[in-house]
């Protein structure tokens, strides 16, 4: 199997990154994580890049040449697929258009509900009966691309933002690898 050279974009803890790295080390998994990009120089996820000896780069997304720097890195590392894993920055149209149907994201809600930030708080305020996560293709609109896979769980009366996050992350760790396998099974 030819593994697709993949870049994972992160901003925070890196639990989905670690999960993807673990799966990518399996010979039958369709991607190889060849680069990690973070817009947060203090992102906890960078420690996984160091531990697994995966090249990584901090890109200050507030600088005007950041998009050009990202594109150059993607070209330098021959990246053909991108996974957003808690990347808290909107990807530029130039990058999205250059990687059509080759950028995916995981979002902690059942899209199209609760796009954007503060998802768990909004789920609770809306008295939802169920929630979960969605893996979707990235397009030029926030959390809007076509859905690849969804995972659902039902809320309990005692749930709060912390328990929702824990339950959602557990589902995300199943959903993201399943979505990647699903994508490349049909290519």
173 assigned to active site: no
Please answer whether residues 57 and 73 qualify as being in contact, where contact means their C-beta atoms are separated by less than 8 angstroms.
Answer: yes
CA nearest neighbour of 58 among 37, 43, 42: 37
Choice among 23, 107, 136, 173 that is catalytic: 107
Please answer whether residues 73 and 37 qualify as being in contact, where contact means their C-beta atoms are separated by less than 8 angstroms.
Answer: yes
Please answer whether residues 34 and 3 qualify as being in contact, where contact means their C-beta atoms are separated by less than 8 angstroms.
Answer: no
Give the integer Cα–Cα distance in Å for 83 and 81. 7
Residues assigned a catalytic role: 107
């Amino acid at each position: 199997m030819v593994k697709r050279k993949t870049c994972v974009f992160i901003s925070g803890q890196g639990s989905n990154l670690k999960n993807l790295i673990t799966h990518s080390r399996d010979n039958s998994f369709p991607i190889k994580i060849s680069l990690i990009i973070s817009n947060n120089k203090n992102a906890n996820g960078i420690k996984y890049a160091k531990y697994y000896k995966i090249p990584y780069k901090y890109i200050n997304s507030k600088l005007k040449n950041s998009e050009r720097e990202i594109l150059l890195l993607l070209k330098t590392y021959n990246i053909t697929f991108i996974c957003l894993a808690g990347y808290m920055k909107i990807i530029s149209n130039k990058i999205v258009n250059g990687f059509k149907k080759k950028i995916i994201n995981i979002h902690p809600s059942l899209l199209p509900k609760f796009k954007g930030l503060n998802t768990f708080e909004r789920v609770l305020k809306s008295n939802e009966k169920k929630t979960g996560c969605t893996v979707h293709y990235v397009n030029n609109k926030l959390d809007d691309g076509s859905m690849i896979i969804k995972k659902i769980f039902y809320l309990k009366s005692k749930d709060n933002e912390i328990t929702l996050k824990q339950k959602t992350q557990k589902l995300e760790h199943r959903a993201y690898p399943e979505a990647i396998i699903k994508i490349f099974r049909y290519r």
